[in-house]
Chains A and B, each alone.
Chain A
Amino acid sequence: MSEQPLSSDLKPIPGAPLWLLAELTYRCPLQCAYCSNPLDFAAQQEELSTEEWFDVLRQARAMGAVQLGFSGGEPLVRKDLEALVAEARRLGFYTNLITSGLGLDEARIGALREAGLDHIQISLQAADAEVAAAVAGSPKAHAKKLTMARAVKAAGYPMVLNVVLHRHNIDQIDDIIALCAELGADAVELANCQLYGWAQLNRAGLLPSREQLEAAEATTQRWRERLAAKGQDMRLLFVIPDYYATRPKACMGGWGSIFMTVAPDGAVLPCHSARILPMSFPTVREQPLQAIWYQSDAFNRYRGEDWMPSPCRDCDERHKDFGGCRCQAYMLTGNADATDPVCDLSPDHHLIEAAREEAANDQREVHELTLRNVRESRVFCRE
């Protein structure tokens, strides 16, 4: 009789990665102060080639991935986007393009349609050009986004608009929703910015006040009723910032549970922000995806609940939120194994309260935030 180590016997076998986020590039014409890309993106290695991406898509599909997001950076910067979309569709993926709208024109919309693209998500920064320009560092982007949203709709795509909310635009929410309704969106994500990457750097200048948040939620609810009464099918999804919650989000549906990101240089991550964690992630240039997903230390590190500290370890809610977000725990406490401080049962929850207070005292105007660009990024590049 052979003795097996008990732990490997008892560990449930992880399911397939149903979601693949393909971050094609960190290049982007915009400079959003809330961008979740890594601060040191300028130090990134060479991007995967078209052939390498084909291979990633084939491997992921064979493993069971079916939802595919092309993002970045700005994925339209890649000239081979159409070819990647076509291959993804041939393999049976549902293909989503997550874009700022810059780099899009009618010809490209047509070519992407031809390639079989299923859906385009465009992000808007505000209801008016002025705030949009200040937060994204580009005076012309807003008008361009609106034109492209209309063209996307006209081409017959389902359209989800994504508006990243923060204290400088959240009071415009009534106008923002009106604009989205006029553009004919199928759904609108009104998502308070998650404080990772550049957003974390600008945190105190981005976090809205509780009053702002409550007013915006109430406006959203009024819009839901108005849309229902008109029979307009536009779903409104309002996402509050973690910093005003008392329980963490079920980050990525659990670490290494359904979601996999492949970064521009081929690093495979459990979420797009995991790069900040003090651990290393294998790349598709070194290992097959299958081995990375099922066997790598990185993906097994926070799977299941063996890793959980107290109070999560004995908490009834651990199957619901999996102890929250590892990146948030690390950013706030310096310990990636800690309970997400968003949870008010966490011994570190005071850090969240302190961050809210710091934000309340921050007087910066929108144009005083640090913009995400190569020059600023170099400051964060390690040797």
Chain B
Amino acid sequence: MNSTRVYRLRPGWRLQWEEAQQRHVLLYPEGMVQLNESAGAILTLLDGERDVTALIDELQRRFPQPPREEMTADVEEFLQDAANQGWIRHE
């Protein structure tokens, strides 16, 4: 994956924390994806400015446990998947 790619949520879609469900959800026209903790953590950081490298830097800072390589692989796989599903886009 190109590590300078800048992802953001698909326009019109919204990420928010739902107190009642105790998780992040991704809201879109007439639907909702209920996110697990890591998906929520990654999507929260897609601000339309951070590229993939900066995203992983920030995740490493917040979650120092997993080795960088492992995290990079996981994050890239997730981003690819999210892009295929149409949740996120890049320029």
Q: Which residues of A contact B (CB under 8 A)?
A: 16, 18, 63-64, 66-67, 69, 92, 94, 96, 118-119, 121, 156-158, 160, 186-187, 233, 235
Q: A160–B12 contact, CB under 8 A?
A: no
8 nearest A-B pairs in the assembled complex, by CB-CB distance: A64-B20, A158-B12, A94-B27, A119-B29, A160-B29, A16-B20, A158-B29, A96-B30
> Which secondary structure dominates where chain B touches chain A?
loop
> Nearest-CB distance from A94 to chain B (Å)?
4
Give the nearest-CB partner of B16 in chain A. A92
Our pick among A18, A92, A118 for the contact of B29 (Cβ within 8 Å) is A118
Which A residues lie within 8 Å of B27 (CB)? 66-67, 94, 118
Q: A118–B31 contact, CB under 8 A?
A: no
Q: A67-B30, A121-B30 are in contact. List 16 more A-B contacts (CB 8 A).
A: A16-B20, A63-B20, A64-B20, A66-B16, A67-B31, A92-B16, A94-B32, A96-B29, A96-B30, A118-B14, A119-B29, A157-B12, A158-B12, A158-B13, A158-B28, A235-B86
Our pick among B11, B16, B25, B28 for the contact of A156 (Cβ within 8 Å) is B11
Provide the bound-state CA to CA distance between A187 and B86, in Å: 11
Provide the bound-state CA to CA distance between A158 and B14, in Å: 12
Q: A158–B20 contact, CB under 8 A?
A: no
Our pick among B11, B16, B29 for the contact of A187 (Cβ within 8 Å) is B29
Interface residues of B in 37-75 (CB under 8 A from A): none
> 27 A-B residue contacts at CB 8 Å?
A16-B20, A64-B18, A64-B19, A64-B21, A66-B18, A66-B20, A66-B27, A67-B27, A67-B30, A67-B31, A69-B30, A92-B16, A96-B29, A96-B30, A118-B14, A118-B27, A119-B28, A119-B29, A119-B30, A121-B29, A121-B30, A156-B11, A158-B10, A158-B28, A160-B29, A186-B12, A233-B86
Q: Which residues of B contact A (CB under 8 A)?
A: 10-14, 16, 18-21, 25, 27-32, 86
Which A residues lie within 8 Å of B21 (CB)? 16, 18, 64
Provide the bound-state CA to CA distance between A303 and B10, in Å: 36
Provide the bound-state CA to CA distance between A119 and B12, in Å: 7
> Nearest-CB distance from B85 to chain A (Å)?
11
Give the nearest-CB partner of A186 in chain B. B29
Our pick among A18, A66, A118, A235 for the contact of B12 (Cβ within 8 Å) is A118
Give the nearest-CB partner of A162 in chain B. B30
Which B residues lie within 8 Å of A63 (CB)? 20
> Nearest-CB distance from B43 to chain A (Å)?
15
Which B residues lie within 8 Å of A158 (CB)? 10-13, 28-29
Which B residues lie within 8 Å of A16 (CB)? 20-21
Provide the bound-state CA to CA distance between A119 and B86, in Å: 16
Give the nearest-CB partner of B21 in chain A. A64
Provide the bound-state CA to CA distance between A160 and B31, in Å: 12
Provide the bound-state CA to CA distance between A94 and B28, in Å: 8
Give the nearest-CB partner of A233 in chain B. B86
Which A residues lie within 8 Å of B86 (CB)? 233, 235
Provide the bound-state CA to CA distance between A64 and B10, in Å: 24
Provide the bound-state CA to CA distance between A16 and B32, in Å: 14
Most buried by B among A63, A67, A156, A233: A67
